[in-house]
Amino acid sequence: MSGYDEAKMGSEFNRWVKKNGWDLPSTPYEHKITKLKSLPFSRLEEHQIYYLGKCKTSAYSYKISDASPGLKPFDGFVFSDNPISLFTIMFYKKRTPRKIYCIDRDDLLCYIETSDRKSLTEDKAKELAIKIINL
């Protein structure tokens, strides 16, 4: 994906949170961006689904690599029995306002399991979102 990608989305997300704050519980998240009309469910990787779920049902600890470039804010973190774990999803279209739909992992999986579709539309993302960020 050339141009706008998940890395740029992540940078904008971080700037937005720093500027506006965060009114949800501390949470792990996985960014997803699509330039299509819908996000294929196949873009949700098994390991991402697993670890976002693990943060909700038990404890997950992660050590940030000492080899990471720049200053680290701390050595690592632990998520334990989190009430939410998010997929943050953007439907990117040039020259239109960008939005990030924050959807709880379990809500998205429930939709996937009960839907006849193989992808998530923006309208459904809006319906499932527990928070919508206007960048």
DSSP for 82-134 reads: -S--EEEEEE--TTS--EEEEEEHHHHHHHHHH-S-SEEEHHHHHHH-SEEEE
SS3 33: strand
Q: CA 59, CA 79: separation in Å to the nearest integer?
A: 6
Q: What is the token pair recorded at 123?
A: 């309208």
| 3-state helix vs strand vs coil in the chain, percent to 5 | 35, 30, 35
pLDDT tens-digit readout, 53-81: 999 999 889 888 888 778 888 888 898 88
pLDDT tens-digit readout, 86-129: 999 999 998 899 999 999 999 999 999 999 999 999 999 999 99
For the whole model, what pTM was predicted? Answer: 0.91
